[in-house]
Amino acid sequence: MTNSQRKYFAYKKIIDNKITSVTKKLLPESLYLPIKYILSGGGKRIRPVLLMFACEAAGGDPKKAVDAAIAVEILHNFTLIHDDIMDNAVSRRGRETIHKKWDSNIAILAGDNMVGMAYQCLLKTKTSKLSEIIEEFTEGIIEVCEGQGYDKEFESRTDVTLSEYILMIDKKTSKLLETCSGIGALIGNADNKKFRALKNYAHNLGIAFQIQDDLLDISGDQKKFGKQIGGDLREGKKTFLLLKAIELVKKKQDREKILRIAEQKGLKSYSKVLINDIKRIYHDYGVVDSAQKEIKKFTDKAEKYIEVFEVRESRIMLKWFSRMLLGRSF
């Protein structure tokens, strides 16, 4: 195991333990049990670990960033609860979603409360740059919501472009990773050059991460992925794959299948046969290859920004992190 891997697992353990303590003995149970449920549901803790890595790369003590790291993890899980309600998703990380296990009213309330909990944790951060950190965090919330707004808007449109898709994931997915890097850099007292480098690193990594997520929707292991394979197709999500297929697929029979998903807002019923047929189309027309190239392009771009760090260990750590995301299978 490399030193970067050891750090990742050590920081993840700190985060897991802290989350357990944050949600311990909170009442009323009807509000906090669903919150404990989603926060204890596993996950790779990518965002809080990135925040701690960014703090360390900036020259700070990552242990001083734990409260802020917990804040972004709580915020991230809040977005998952509300996304699942809007998408009517039945599973998350291999378990029932909150609105299915309880109901939508409880899920909405739990999500709302988690925003307050996130700020409560964030405000415990010991730093002279708390106002800048709060600004980064708040801007992140607003842009994530804007990204979700675009995502839902795209479901009813048939003319979404790939550039619009990039704008959407820039806000919905990439911005929160950028927020993590920015906050970590501020806690670590990064100079402006390193602050911008860490944010740009995370920005490009976030785009690669989401395209990889789109790809895993049709190629991942359902047990590991924790969500129904082909879920994006079923919902008619305008993913990189679907939009690229609209651009590349010319054969009439195959094109009609692709356009039917885009125009009818997905599949009326879940069909493994049809999803496998769409996967075949994606492979035959180079859609999967195009996605893989985009993932590598944005990952490579992200890694160029970490060259500004003089400490070799910082570059190795951040490069390991991006390569870990690039190579994930769930």
Kindly state which CATH superfamily the domain 3-310 is placed in: Farnesyl Diphosphate Synthase (1.10.600.10)
pLDDT at 224: 56
- Domain boundaries of the chain, sorted by first residue: 3-310
CB 140 within 8 A of CB 172: no
Mean pLDDT of the chain: 92
- Dihedral pair phi/psi, residue 92, rounded to 5°: -150, 125
Mean pLDDT of 28-55: 94
State pLDDT tens for residues 98-140.
999 999 999 999 999 999 999 999 999 999 999 999 999 999 9
CB 79 within 8 A of CB 38: no
pLDDT at 227: 58
pLDDT at 43: 85
State pLDDT tens for residues 68-106.
999 999 999 999 999 999 988 888 888 999 999 999 999
List all residues 6 or more positions away from 262 whose beta carbon is below 8 Å from its beta carbon: 158, 236, 238, 242, 246
State pLDDT tens for residues 290-304.
999 999 999 999 999
State pLDDT tens for residues 138-171.
999 999 999 999 999 998 888 999 999 999 999 9
